Amino acid sequence: MGWGRSKAPAAPPSALSQIFPLLILLLVVAGLGWIGYQVYLSVAKIQQTASQKMGKKNVVFTKDGLKVGVKQVKDEHYVDATQSWVVKAWNLGSDAQKEEVEKKKQKKAK
């Protein structure tokens, strides 16, 4: 009896028990794929929203990188603003000279 087999040979595994691990693997891969797709959608939506907000501030994302636009200032507005400061300074300077002349005239009159 030591040389012989006392147990009957085991039955071959059924088809379901062979396919079951494959089904579990496919479900896990499908679940991870779905999670990855949801992450991709979220990132795309966030990127689009950020791009729109930055576009309002003259910042644009391109293939070459980030481009920042400069606020357009027309020459006429720039010249007007500069000229107004020069005129104000001139007037303040000429007013001071007029006051000095008037003070000298008042001193001479006394």
Domain layout of the chain by residue ranges: 15-69, 73-110
Mean pLDDT for the stretch of residues 93-109:
75
* 14-18, 54-58, 81-85, 93-97: range with highest mean pLDDT: 14-18
Give the list of residues 6+ apart from residue 51 with CB closer than 8 angstroms, or none: 61
Cβ 58 vs Cβ 47: under 8 Å: no
Q: 60: Cβ–Cβ under 8 A, 6 or more apart, which residues?
A: 54, 66, 67, 69
Is the pLDDT confidence value at 40 over 70?
Answer: yes
Confidence band of 4 (pLDDT split at 50, 70, 90): low
Q: Is the pLDDT of residue 108 over 80?
A: no
pTM over 0.85: no
